[in-house]
């Protein structure tokens, strides 16, 4: 398996249709197999009216089945997933950051929202 227990990840669920809900998940892998990963973390949902992602307040445990609809970004081990937030850069790009050293450009939103 390419992912390992204890790794922290940012997952983008790709949409099938334009109006589908945009969902991301940020969490730590509890267990993984060749076909699925069990994680504990936070769901982020895109709020059209606010033009950004909103974090659901409760930490969730999820099982996500691996497939082509997912983009999985491995986060640095030192990132605290409780501190993750979404911010807009001066150029209009959306980034995921911990407000310290970690920053990840969400290129599906680069310069267009």
Domain assignment present for residue 2? The answer is no
pTM of the shown model:
0.86
How far is it, in rounded angstroms, from Cα 96 to Cα 109? 12
Domain assignment present for residue 91? The answer is yes
61 CB-side CA count, 13 A: 3
Q: Which domain holds residue 53?
A: 8-109
Q: Once rounded to an integer, what is the mean pLDDT over residues 87-102?
A: 90
Domain assignment present for residue 3? The answer is no
**Per-residue pLDDT tens over the stretch 69-83:** 889 999 999 999 999
DSSP, collapsed to helix, strand or coil, labels residue 2 as coil
Number of domains in the chain: 1
Domain assignment present for residue 98? The answer is yes
Confidence grade of residue 88 (pLDDT, cut at 50, 70, 90): confident
* Per-residue pLDDT at 51: 77
| Cα separations in angstroms, 80 against 4, 91, 113 | 17, 26, 28
* Per-residue pLDDT at 110: 46
Query: How many of the other CB atoms lie within 10 Å of CB of 79?
Result: 20
């Amino acid at each position: 398996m390419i992912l390992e227990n204890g790794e922290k990840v940012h997952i983008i669920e790709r949409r099938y249709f334009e109006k589908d809900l945009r969902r991301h998940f940020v969490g730590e892998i509890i267990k993984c197999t060749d076909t699925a990963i069990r994680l504990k973390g936070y769901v982020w949902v895109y709020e059209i009216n606010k033009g950004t992602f909103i974090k659901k307040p409760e930490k969730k445990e999820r099982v996500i089945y691996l497939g082509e609809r997912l983009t999985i970004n491995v986060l640095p081990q030192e990132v605290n997933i409780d501190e993750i937030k979404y911010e807009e850069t001066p150029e209009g790009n959306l980034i995921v950051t911990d407000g310290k050293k970690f920053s990840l450009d969400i290129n599906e939103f680069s310069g267009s929202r």
